Amino acid sequence: MDSLLLKLREFFVVPKPQQYLSCSTFKTNELVASFIDFLLEVLEEFLGQRYLSRFFTAQMKPLLKNLKFLLIILGDTPFQGTELEETNNILAEIESIANEAGIFFHSFFFTTDLVEETKIAAAHSILLPKFNMVKENIKKHCNTFSPPSVTTRNTDLVSIFIVDSVLDYLNHLINHKASLIVHVKDEITTLRKELHFSRSFLRDVEVQQSKELIKCVMQLRDLAYEAEYIINWFAAGEVPVWYLALRLSNFIQKITLIKQNHASNSLEVVESPFEVSSQVVKSIPMVDEIIVGLKDETMRIASQLVRGPVDLQIISITGMPGLGKTTLAKKLYNHSSVLNHFDKRLWCVVSQTYERKRLLIDILCYMTNLKEDKFLEMEVEKLGENLYKNLKERRYFVVMDDIWNIKAWDDLKIYFPKDKTGSRILFTSRNKEVALEASSDGIINELPFLSVDECWDLLEQKVFGEALCPREFVDIGKQIATSCKGLPLAVAGIAAVLANMEKKESLWKEVAASLSSYIFKEQDILELSYKHLPIHLKPCFLYFSAFEEDREIPVKKLLSLWISEGFIEKIKDERSEDVAEEYLIELINRNMVQVAKRRSDNGVKTCNIHDLMRDMCVRIAKEENFLKVIEDEVSIYEQHHRLCNHSYPQHLKSRLFGLHIRSLLGMSESLFIVSRLSLLRVLKFSDRKGYIGTLEFLVQLRYLEIPYLSLLMSERLENLEFLFVTGQTTNPAFSNMPKLRHLDLETPSRISKDWKIPQTHSLETLSGVLVYNFDDEKILRCFPHLRHLKCHYDKSWNDCPDLSFLTQLESLKMTFYGWKVKFREINFPTNIKKLSLSLSFPCERMSSVGKLPNLEILKLEFLNFEGENWNTHDDEFQKLKYLKLRNLKFEDWNTSEDHFPTLERLVLESCDYFKSIPSELGYIPTLQMIEVHSCGVSVRESAMKIKEEQEENGNEELKVIITGLK
């Protein structure tokens, strides 16, 4: 037994690098920090036991607080290096006291010769004086600490956002924590003033290429990260005011030196040849993606798809990255001949990280419009059987985009029926061998490079649009086009730089000169696009490295993450969400980001980036220490600001205590210790099961995506703004979240009456609230600033819903459980712009909807009209632009073009009882598109008749899309 206790004692002293191979590369401060973290974990777990007396807990807390302070010190800059003798001396003292604390814990837990009170008294008499002694030496060291030189990597990421973040923290301390900073208020005020001044020359680096200026800016960024670290730990109550005072003095000295260096070098200004306009384009072009040189390929492959044998056939598009394989496949997917020929169309992205179950779920979700939760518990074979049954006896068209190897097709091919219906599978692949192995009688289309003339045509269109290129730019433009080596992606990247550049021939020549010096690689061209992004867009673009390859990214969550990270500049009288959307539009217009799906108002619903662009994004994010995607082993000792884990928990050498981590994305709760994450602003869980634990230490948290909520979240998450609950929750209450603006409950839930909400609550978006009775509806009155609401009324509700009190509401979705629910009237807010309804409602009462003065988007789904006719009138729907009718139970629609004078898009889906589309609608001057999905023959024929009538009258612009034949 004694030998076992002696062996256990080895775990309660700081390990030596030579003892363990895994420790051999770590510095002393890293090993000591890891050991103290271990002691804290043991002590916190022990103090969490309910049977402990209050006296015992109170006596142990000083040890806990002192150890935590030492851990934070080890993560601070003055104690990171080992070049100075004074630093090494203090590190040796901290290691010694950590060992003594470890020996005490070992003795306390594993020896019985002394009573607990005696052990604790001994610890207080020995350890606490030593803690005080090391604090005195820390004070002396910080007073004299001056690193030999401020060194930093020369990077392209100029982080204005981190300076703004520190300014926010300082303002919060001054305005809301005045009593805590009485002794350091002058220093905080001085630092705030100096940082405000520094922002003025942060932007200078965008148009000046002085190496000294860039060095000053990088030093300022590093200083801001240092300041954020200490200020946040102070706000969390873990750093004493005396240490904050010392470090504030250090920061002010540093920033003074940086300003002096900037002043001495500001006379040597070198104007950048790539000066970029930072003007925000507030609208997204609705034109199709430009395709040059592929017209013949489009027509040829479209013919292959709709003609030829009745047997299932595989058609392939192959070629190197960036040639436009996916772009061409999208064009074919939406080609009119394809739309009218196939009963079912499916699009799936296979990619390099293919996983069979995930792909089958994606296909079924796409095909059935159901959420993935419906399929997650199914076995692979059941999923495949589902797919087979849905395609059986149908003429289907499936695009398998970015397929890397034959295994993916071998795994899936048994689920595609061979019914001799003329079905087609379209591959896009970098690897021609995949197409050859997949089918002996398939057709392979190899995409060629563009000619020099085609490259110039594409460049000209992307830079100048429909306007002609000025004569003086033609020769230099063709020279640039030649440098793109026939690769459309390269042309798009260069075009984005030129389009956002002042139209000067000299600047174009500078671009051409730079390109001619490259040994051509696709990444060179892409990186040029990145380097010429305005500085406010660089962190936003690099954040795409956090998302998995070939995944569509929900824009709502993306913008919420940008705001939470502090990337979005605060502009007076503008909402952060609107500014963030403008940033996204800029990236789209620069061809850095692609639109995947659009909303009904033509805004961007989901987006993604090209594979090559993402590869570059991940690489630069890692080089800049901006974000690390966990794809190999990562240590707790590395000072990462953001960590993203998609599916590699095994790569973490140890649990994260995260002294410097600002964001954790896609994490399992077991991978980190919450109490050591005080800087955390973003936390996104991937695990939908398991115990999350307390979040009370995360005082800086802005964004939380979590699998479930307890009945009452008691944590004081005073800065939380965005909360997404991806799983089950019951009657949640959020009493301590005064800044919460967006709450999204994936599973509809009632809001608890325990939620004590002030009338000034800032909630703007509420999604997934369940309404049973008037009390539930009354809770909604506590949110006067709501702009977006998705609510579900229970079948037990039998009163008239009244939401007219939500005077700022712009978007409303009302779903009613149970077809027996029938309403004679609904009182809507008059400011509504977007309305989605699913309920039983009298036809004549639709006039109340039609008379909403600001209504632009209307979606009627599963609407059980009482009566067989829908009659509209002259004074209704005067601003409506988008109308979607899905699964409606009425036969005739009596209307006129005057009843919908501004309608742009009409969508009908699965309206089995509906007879025909009124021909009068074709004469609406603003109408651009009619879509008919899974409707009867008469509806399809009426849509085509409207198109023919309009073409006879000279209207060639009206588009009619018909899919899902019945």
Q: Tens digits of per-residue pLDDT, 638-657?
A: 678 888 887 655 445 445 55
The pLDDT assigned to 292 comes to: 65
Distance, in Å, from the CA atom of 373 to the CA atom of 358, rounded to the nearest integer, reads: 12
Q: Give the pLDDT mean for 304-315.
A: 93
Q: Encoding tokens for residue 132?
A: 């005080």
Of the listed ranges 440-454, 733-747, 860-874, the least confidently predicted one is 860-874
pLDDT at 865: 64
Single out the residue of 418, 442, 417 nearest to residue 432, CA to CA.
Answer: 442
Q: What is the mean pLDDT of residues 549-576?
A: 92
State yes or no: pLDDT of 906 exceeds 70.
yes
Q: What number of CA atoms fall less than 13 Å from residue 18's CA on the CB side?
A: 0
Taking the CB of residue 671, how many other CB atoms lie within 10 A of it? 18
Which of 21-25, 349-353, 483-487 is predicted least confidently?
Answer: 21-25
What is the distance between the alpha carbons of residues 963 and 397, in angstroms, rounded to a whole number? 11
- Whether residue 897 is predicted with pLDDT greater than 80 in this model: the reply is yes
What is the arithmetic mean of pLDDT over 791-811?
83
pLDDT of residue 833: 97
Tokens (6 digits) for 166: 């520190």
Look at residue 759 in the predicted model and tell me its pLDDT: 47
How many CB atoms within 10 Å of residue 175?
8
Task: Please state, rounded to an integer, the average pLDDT across all residues of the chain.
Answer: 81
Residue 556 Cα to chain centre, angstroms: 8
834: CB partners within 8 A, 6+ apart: 600, 601, 810, 811, 812, 855, 856, 857, 858
Does pLDDT of 555 surpass 70?
A: yes
For residues 834-853, give the mean pLDDT.
84
pLDDT higher for 596 or 866? Answer: 596
pLDDT band at 82 (very low <50, low <70, confident <90, very high): low
Give the C-alpha distances (Å, rounded to integers) separating 627 from 225, 461, 522, 557, 641.
14, 35, 23, 18, 6
pLDDT at 820 over 60: no
Residues whose CB falls within 8 Å of the CB of residue 696, separated by 6 or more in sequence, listed in order: 714, 715, 716
pLDDT band at 291 (very low <50, low <70, confident <90, very high): low
Match 């775990």 to its residue by tokens.
Answer: 11
pLDDT confidence band for 559 (50 / 70 / 90): very high
The sheet that has 594-598: what strands, in order across it? Answer: 553-554, 604-608, 594-598
Are 864 and 889 a contacting pair, CB within 8 Å?
Answer: yes
Name the residue among 687, 686, 681 with its Cα closest to residue 695: 681
pLDDT at site 282: 36
Query: What's residue 933's pLDDT?
Result: 92
Least confident window among 30-44, 128-142, 146-160, 792-806: 146-160
8 A C-beta contact, residue 608 and residue 552: yes
> In the chain, pLDDT over 70 holds for what percent of residues?
79
pLDDT for residue 729 = 66
d(CA 629, CA 861): 41
Range 42-45 contact pairs with CB under 8 angstroms and sequence separation of 24 or more: 42/105, 43/67, 43/105, 44/675
What residues does 865 pair with on adjacent strands?
841
Paired with 464 in beta bridges are none
Higher pLDDT residue, 79 or 25? 79
Residue recorded with tokens 């030593």: 130
Q: What is the 3-state secondary structure (H, E, C) of 621-655?
A: HHHCCCCEECCCCECCCCCCCEEECCCCHHHECCC
- How much is the pLDDT for 85? 80
Helix axes 160-176, 185-202, angle to 10 degrees: 150
Report the length, in residues, of the chain: 966
Phi, psi of 745 (to 5 degrees): -105, 110
User: Around Cβ 866, how many Cβ atoms within 10 Å?
Assistant: 14
Q: How far apart are CA 699 and CA 680, in angstroms?
A: 8
Report residue 836's pLDDT band, with 50, 70 and 90 as the boundaries. Answer: very high
Percent of the chain exceeding pLDDT 90 equals 29
In this prediction, residue 288 carries a pLDDT of 47
457: closest CA among 683, 305, 249, 295? 295
Tell me what pLDDT residue 290 has: 60
Q: How far apart are the C-alpha atoms of 127 and 110, rounded to whole Å?
A: 19
Q: Reply yes or no on whether the pLDDT at 350 is more than 60.
A: yes
pLDDT at 850 over 70: yes
What is the full DSSP assignment across 241-291?
Answer: HHHHHHHHHHHHHHHHHHHHHHHHHTTS--B-TT-B--PPP-S---SPPP-
Nearest-angstrom CA–CA distance, 510 and 479: 12
| Cβ count near 376 (within 10 Å) | 11
pLDDT band per the 50, 70, 90 thresholds, residue 274 = very low
Neighbours of 601 (CB within 10 A): 13
HSE value, Cβ hemisphere, 13 Å, CA-based, for 301: 32
Report, in angstroms and rounded to the nearest whole number, the Rg of the chain calculated over CA atoms.
32
Give the span between the Cα atoms of 719 and 681, in whole angstroms: 9
CA 225 from centroid of its chain's CA atoms: 23
Lowest-pLDDT range of 183-197, 421-435, 712-726: 712-726
As given in the structure block, the two tokens for residue 904 are 């742009």
pLDDT band at 877 (very low <50, low <70, confident <90, very high): very high
For CA atoms 712, 715, 721, 723, the dihedral sign is negative
* pLDDT band, very low/low/confident/very high, at 277 (cuts 50, 70, 90): very low
> 810 is written with which tokens?
């712009």
Pick from 270, 155, 102, 42: nearest CA to 626: 155
513 and 550 in contact (C-beta within 8 Å)?
A: no
Q: Across residues 837-850, what is the average pLDDT?
A: 79
Closest to 140 in 3D by CA, of 78, 95, 65: 78
Give residue 590's pLDDT: 77
- How far apart (Å, rounded) are the C-alpha atoms in residues 836 and 8? 64
Q: Is 487 left (phi over 0), alpha (psi -120 to 50) or beta?
A: beta
Token pair recorded at residue 265: 């070098």
Indicate whether 31 pLDDT > 90: no
Which among 803, 796, 845 is positioned nearest to 825, based on CA atoms?
Answer: 845
Q: Rounded to whole angstroms, how far apart are CA atoms 634 and 118?
A: 42
pLDDT-based confidence at residue 210 (cuts at 50, 70, 90): low
Average pLDDT score over residue span 436-448: 87
Range of lowest pLDDT (12-26, 191-205, 499-513):
12-26
Q: What is the pLDDT of residue 518?
A: 40
Residues pairing with 315 in the sheet: 426, 443
- pLDDT at residue 693 greater than cutoff 60: no
The pLDDT tens digits for 514-526 are 764 443 455 666 7
Phi, psi of 717 (to 5 degrees): -90, 70
DSSP character at residue 422: -
Three-class SS of residue 347? strand
CA–CA separation, 578 vs 282, rounded Å? 10
For residue 339, the surrounding DSSP H or E stretch is: helix 336-339
User: What's residue 548's pLDDT?
Assistant: 87
Q: H/E element holding 790?
A: strand 788-793
Looking at 83-87, 328-332, 389-393, which range is the least confident one?
A: 83-87
Q: 224-238, 654-668, 923-937 — which is least confidently predicted?
A: 654-668
* Structure-token pair, residue 46: 């022990």
**Which carries the bigger pLDDT value, residue 858 or residue 502?**
858
Give the pLDDT of residue 112. Answer: 56
Cβ-contact 731, 751 below 8 angstroms? yes
Tokens standing for residue 180? 């805590």
Q: Is the pLDDT score of 345 beyond 50?
A: yes
**CA-wise closest residue to 523 among 593, 612, 461:** 612
Q: How many CB atoms lie within 10 A of CB 465?
A: 11
pTM of the model: 0.80
